[in-house]
């Protein structure tokens, strides 16, 4: 039995990953360490709660003594825990620096003290910054442009330094934009789908021509599992879906699928420091033997249907002070 410590497992990708791992592997046990910030939600994991291989611990990855005791009983650390939303990092960067950098440091310190078989850092394609043409490779310079992506870059390189300096067996994945079930309704797809269902405006930043590469969350989960088994220690792996779309294309697709009027499209001021385009080369992970399985055109419909069928999951999340911040910042109701 391998003991996994998964941090941030009550969030969007972490909860999908826990479900994926418990379904796929009978010989693992999982501790989910999550602070339950606004983005952490135990309802994401209702179906696995009673699985004897799963244990939830409410706590902060910045809490050195808690982290130390949990890492001590673990073989593998998977670090998802982070503040993850770019707009929130523009409004209030503090928690991003604390969790994304200092929290990762605490996990690394405990991992080097106790020795783990693998430490995998869930990094992001945003560490590279924006690219007008072509694709980012793992060896390209890191040029993050928001407090979120800069804090993730700090963590990414700190993890690498523990490999070079202390021989910690680390791996790093850098994934593109995920979509799928259980995504907090503040990100482009989850916000626009839920707003469209409610007949509310879809607030498009700037000209709507920024490009993101969309990766279905189940593909991200399979890539992490694959890299844990097959990745070379100390290496970074890009994980992309190969589905580049402008925000306007995504908006039109959502409106068409939900049979909602074009008049819901609302152009508002641009995000500060807004990266124009993200695009990854996934040659390296492909050569190792992984590639995405899900077809965007099918998985996006499944995703939209999931939000239609799980209204009670997201309705109660659309409240709180972030809505006030968004309104004062963008002059737009969410």
Binding site for ligand DAU (CB under 6 A): 84-86, 124-126, 176-177, 187-188, 191, 203-205, 210, 212, 247, 271, 278
Q: Which is nearer to ligand NAD, 59 or 208 (CB)?
A: 59
Residue 152 contacts ligand NAD per CB under 6 A = yes
CB of 263 to ligand NAD, least distance (A): 29
The option from ligand DAU, ligand NAD, none interacting with 106 (CB < 5 to 8 A, set by class) reads none
Active site residue 126: yes
Active site residue 20: no
Q: Which two tokens stand for residue 33?
A: 């360490």
Residue 34 contacts ligand NAD per CB under 6 A = yes
CB of 236 to ligand NAD, least distance (A): 13
CB 261 within 8 A of CB 194: no
Q: Report the first-to-last Cα separation within the chain, whole angstroms.
A: 46
Q: Which stretch binds ligand NAD (CB under 6 A): 11-19, 243-251, 256-264, 279-287?
A: 11-19
CB of 251 to ligand DAU, least distance (A): 8
The option from ligand DAU, ligand NAD, none interacting with 11 (CB < 5 to 8 A, set by class) reads ligand NAD
Nearest to 226 by CA among 283, 282, 285, 151: 285
Near ligand NAD in 49-68, by CB under 6 A: 60-62
Q: Which is nearer to ligand NAD, 7 or 303 (CB)?
A: 7
List 34, 60, 125, 219, catalytic entry: 125
Q: At what angle do helices 296-309 and 188-198 cross, to 10 degrees?
A: 50
Question: How would DSSP label each residue in 122-166?
Answer: EEEGGGG---SSS-B-TTSPP---SHHHHHHHHHHHHHHHHHHHH
Q: Which is nearer to ligand DAU, 106 or 177 (CB)?
A: 177
CB 264 within 8 A of CB 229: no
Residue 80 contacts ligand NAD per CB under 6 A = yes
Q: CA–CA separation, 328 vs 280, rounded Å?
A: 34
Near ligand NAD in 101-120, by CB under 6 A: 103
Q: Which stretch binds ligand NAD (CB under 6 A): 64-72, 139-147, 171-179, 275-283?
A: 171-179
Q: Which two tokens stand for residue 73?
A: 């009983």
Q: Is 112 helix (H, G, I), strand (E, B) or coil?
A: helix
Strand partners, 177: 214
Active site residue 262: no
Residue 40 contacts ligand NAD per CB under 6 A = yes
CB of 255 to ligand NAD, least distance (A): 22
The option from ligand NAD, ligand DAU, none interacting with 212 (CB < 5 to 8 A, set by class) reads ligand DAU
CB 144 within 8 A of CB 288: no
Give Cα separations from 190 to 194, 267, 300 (angstroms).
Answer: 6, 18, 11
Q: Residue 293: exposed, middle, or buried by beta-carbon count in 10 A (0-12, 13-18, 19+)?
A: exposed
CB 27 within 8 A of CB 53: no
Chosen residue from 7, 146, 194, 210 binding ligand NAD by CB under 6 A: 7
Q: Which two tokens stand for residue 287?
A: 């050569």
Q: Which is nearer to ligand NAD, 65 or 331 (CB)?
A: 65
Q: CA–CA separation, 137 vs 42, rounded Å?
A: 36
Residue 14 contacts ligand NAD per CB under 6 A = yes
- What is the contact surface with ligand NAD in residues (CB under 6 A)? 7-8, 10-14, 33-37, 39-40, 60-62, 80-84, 99, 103, 122, 124, 152, 175, 177-178, 184
Report, as residue numbers or ranges, the catalytic residues.
Answer: 125-126, 148
């Amino acid at each position: 039995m391998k003991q996994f410590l998964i941090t941030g497992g009550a969030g969007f990708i972490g909860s999908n990953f826990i479900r994926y791992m418990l379904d796929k592997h009978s010989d693992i046990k999982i501790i989910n360490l999550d602070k339950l910030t606004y983005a952490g939600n135990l309802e994401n994991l209702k179906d696995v709660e009673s699985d004897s291989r799963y244990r939830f611990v409410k706590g902060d990855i910045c809490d050195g003594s808690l982290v130390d005791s949990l890492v001590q009983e673990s073989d593998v650390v998977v670090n998802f825990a982070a503040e993850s939303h770019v707009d929130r990092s523009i409004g209030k960067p503090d928690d991003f620096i604390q969790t994304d950098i200092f929290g990762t440091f605490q996990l690394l310190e405990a991992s080097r003290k106790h020795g783990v078989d693998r430490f995998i850092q869930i990094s992001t394609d945003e560490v590279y910054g924006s690219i007008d043409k072509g694709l980012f490779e793992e060896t390209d310079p890191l040029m993050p442009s928001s407090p979120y992506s800069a804090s993730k870059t700090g963590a990414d390189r700190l993890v690498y330094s523990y490999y070079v300096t202390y021989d910690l067996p680390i791996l790093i994945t850098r994934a593109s934009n995920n979509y799928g079930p259980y995504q907090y309704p503040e990100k482009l797809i989850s916000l626009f789908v839920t707003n469209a269902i409610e007949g509310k405006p879809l607030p498009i930043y700037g000209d709507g021509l920024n490009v993101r590469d969309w990766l279905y969350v189940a593909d991200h989960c399979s890539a992490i599992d694959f890299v844990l088994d097959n990745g070379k220690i100390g290496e970074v792996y890009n994980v992309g879906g190969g589905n580049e779309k402008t925000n306007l294309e995504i908006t039109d697709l959502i409106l068409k699928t939900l049979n909602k009027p074009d008049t819901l499209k609302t152009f508002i001021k641009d995000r500060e420091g807004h990266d124009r385009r993200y695009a990854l080369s996934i040659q390296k992970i492909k050569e190792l033997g992984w590639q995405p399985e899900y077809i965007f055109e099918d998985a996006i419909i499944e995703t939209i249907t999931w939000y239609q069928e799980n209204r009670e999951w997201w309705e109660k999340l659309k409240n709180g002070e972030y809505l006030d911040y968004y309104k004062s910042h963008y002059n737009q109701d969410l």
